A and B are shown apart, each in its own frame.
Chain A
């Protein structure tokens, strides 16, 4: 095991391939306390991967590593993001907005940090697209859970994110709001051709949002199963037989604890 630097990880590019390639990625707190082992997958540009697994299985750590955040752990393997200039954004679990900034200020923050000139800091069309145009002067504590997550999504898109990582973005929402947001995300991201990786413990969410579903489990965590889910993009996918089949298969895979 060795600790990789951010540059080592992002400089490795795979010629001709556009998207994300994770190859034999393992992480551990020390050489004995392994978080996950031998994770490999390929995600072509404009597609999505849903990582399904129970809480504490290392989904967040995996997302952090793909994003290039090193939480002080030992890592082995490679993450290739191609092209290297791909704009990344991260929608974190629970924390997605600063409570002392209004919606507008929260959305402006990444633009300020990127030193985007004032006249080019335009957020209104994005807010309208996400149906939160009237919320710009509110503080996060004045928003409902669903509105907060919409703003967090807007924040991820505001700098033109091409690869978006989402860590349980809808876990704190009620079922109706969750489904609405899942549909909005599916529509919006498909329309914009955004590549995204979603960590979730909901099999239904994975079946709606993941072109590829990776089931994580076991001790240490590894990939228990991989499902291709092209039908998720079809109209009415949520009520299709394929949707129920893939949810059932995912559930069985997770329960079995062994590779299919």
Chain B
């Protein structure tokens, strides 16, 4: 029932966007804005085109790779900062000082450092997304009621040291990880939108592969249908990653599923 209503909402949103697009296409005419149906047909045909698919796969790979690197780096570090006060004392000021800086500004720096290969694109996406995931994860750990640690201590066998590695690993598994994961997935979801934007910038001037390149190249050639098919593909990738984050939360945080029911 819930899935059905979600699907209906999706259909409603798509119908609304298509309608607005259609009206705008009528207003501007085919030389400025092709109709959604025209773009959709062109896009479907492009799925048989190996060159288009190659662009799409490059973009998808960079996005997934960059987001994965960002998450893998930021999630454990966020937990560590939230839990270890001394570490937080020295690292948090650096994080918060650099947080407001748009990370995409460092793309030229990364290009100078790592050349025109895949590394700078992956790193700029990772850098952009990791900050949000890091800060949100850290804050979620800091928000834990300290009584949970006391409570956990009461469950801990009296004969085992309460400061050792086994204590930390147990508290990580049973308290920190489940507390931080939903927040980190929410941050991941939010960051994925920014990541698509950064990907477009990264691909629009530092490569000849990827949807960002395709869009800019088609724009230069005034091939509007190709340009729009690239935009549509990039939007779809963003939407799919957003839904994958939802799926991950559904699978990894079953209690959230029940809370929302």
Binding site for B on A (CB under 8 A): 10, 64, 67-69, 71, 88-90, 92, 94-96, 98-102, 109-110, 113-115, 139, 141-142, 155
Contact = CB atoms under 8 A, between A and B. Distances in A.
A100 B258 contact: no
A92 B157 contact: no
Given A100-B178, A113-B170, A95 B148 contact: yes
B153 interface: yes
B45 interface: no
B143 to A, nearest CB: 13
B170 A92 contact: no
A98 B253 CA distance: 13
Given A94-B147, A95-B147, A109-B174, A100 B255 contact: yes
Instruction: Give chain A's interface secondary structure class.
Output: loop
Instruction: Give chain B's interface secondary structure class.
Output: helix
By Cβ-Cβ distance, the 6 closest A-B pairs, closest first, are A90-B154, A100-B178, A110-B155, A95-B147, A100-B255, A95-B151
Q: Give the size category of B's interface with A.
A: 20 to 34
Contact of B155 (A10, A68, A71, A113): A113
A100 B150 contact: no
Contact of A109 (B145, B148, B155): B155
B183 to A, nearest CB: 12
B204 interface: no
A98 B174 contact: yes
A10 B251 CA distance: 44
Interface in B148-172: 148, 150-151, 153-158, 170
Nearest to A97: B151
A138 to B, nearest CB: 8
A92 B153 CA distance: 11
A181 to B, nearest CB: 20
B255 A113 contact: no
B175 to A, nearest CB: 7
A141 B258 CA distance: 9
A80 B151 CA distance: 22
B154 A99 contact: no
A222 B15 CA distance: 72
Contacts of A68: 158
Contacts of A96: 151
B5 interface: no
A4 B130 CA distance: 44
B259 interface: yes
B179 interface: yes
A67 B154 contact: yes
Contact of A69 (B148, B154, B157, B175): B154
A142 B256 CA distance: 12
Interface in B165-218: 170, 174-175, 178-179
Contact of A100 (B147, B170, B253): B253
25 contacts: A67-B154, A69-B153, A71-B150, A89-B154, A92-B147, A92-B150, A92-B151, A95-B147, A95-B148, A96-B151, A98-B175, A99-B255, A100-B179, A100-B255, A101-B178, A102-B255, A109-B155, A109-B174, A113-B170, A114-B157, A115-B157, A139-B258, A141-B258, A142-B258, A155-B155
Most central of A10, A90, A155 by chain B CB within 10 Å: A90
B158 A88 contact: yes
Interface string B223-261: 000000000000000000000000000000101001100
Nearest to A165: B154
